[in-house]
Chain A
Amino acid sequence: NAGVTQTPKFRILKIGQSMTLQCTQDMNHNYMYWYRQDPGMGLKLIYYSVGAGITDKGEVPNGYNVSRSTTEDFPLRLELAAPSQTSVYFCASRVKTDTQYFGPGTRLTVL
């Protein structure tokens, strides 16, 4: 199993541009999460999903959108990128037994 994969690993955006961060897991996990980690800080939950077709907001959803059309994929969409969205983004998945598996992260810079 590849586990949780994220693409791209790095990206630089200009203010106002849009992009999609991809996340895929091959463990058939129902729960998936998107977090952002600002420098020197902990992770903040952006959006999460408890199954295909079901998504909900976390602590910091503004400026982001998600969709969950399949169990495997949970893309995060940034519309109109702003410098405040410069961060490292982590995707994670888990089963009901609560262990959360993380992807390697995407470092995004908005200039």
Chain B
Amino acid sequence: AQTVTQSQPEMSVQEAETVTLSCTYDTSENNYYLFWYKQPPSRQMILVIRQEAYKQQNATENRFSVNFQKAAKSFSLKISDSQLGDTAMYFCALLDNFNKFYFGSGTKLNVKP
């Protein structure tokens, strides 16, 4: 089975600054997908960004970008120009070749004005 680990239970950042959330994973598969999801207090799960393991280029989506290190099995999320609306739980997830998703335990991000 695959595992996903988020070692930062909670983080804070000042508005307009940059913050990086960490995620490591373990899998024996060569092809898989990685995701970051945002869960605001409304509880709705929102896709932030995704990365295909076979692509070396790091994915970017507006203020959100990832640092994907396949050999190190690391997948961090960088949020630039943090906004108050970024306050939420952030979950790292892996999709394996059997169509199963594995989620980390989450990082609670507080953006302070």
Contacts and interface: CB of A to CB of B under 8 A. Distances in A.
Interface of A: 31, 33, 35, 40-45, 48, 50, 58-59, 88, 90, 92, 98-100, 102, 104-105
B67 to A, nearest CB: 20
A83 to B, nearest CB: 21
Interface string B31-63: 001010000000111010010000000000000
Nearest to B91: A42
* Band of interface residues on B: 20 to 34
Contact of A102 (B44, B100, B104): B44
Contacts of A92: 45
A58 B100 contact: yes
Contacts, number: 48
Contact of A104 (B43, B99, B103): B43
B99 A50 contact: yes
A42 B94 CA distance: 12
A45 B95 CA distance: 11
B64 interface: no
Nearest to A49: B99
A109 to B, nearest CB: 15
Interface of B: 1, 4, 6, 33, 35, 43-45, 47, 50, 91, 93, 95, 99-106
B107 to A, nearest CB: 10
B101 A45 contact: yes
A8 to B, nearest CB: 15
A81 to B, nearest CB: 21
B43 A99 contact: no
Contacts of A50: 99
Contacts of A58: 100
Given A42-B103, A105-B43, 20 more contacts: A35-B101, A35-B103, A40-B105, A40-B106, A42-B104, A43-B45, A44-B103, A45-B101, A45-B102, A48-B100, A50-B99, A58-B100, A59-B1, A59-B102, A88-B43, A98-B95, A100-B45, A100-B101, A104-B43, A104-B44
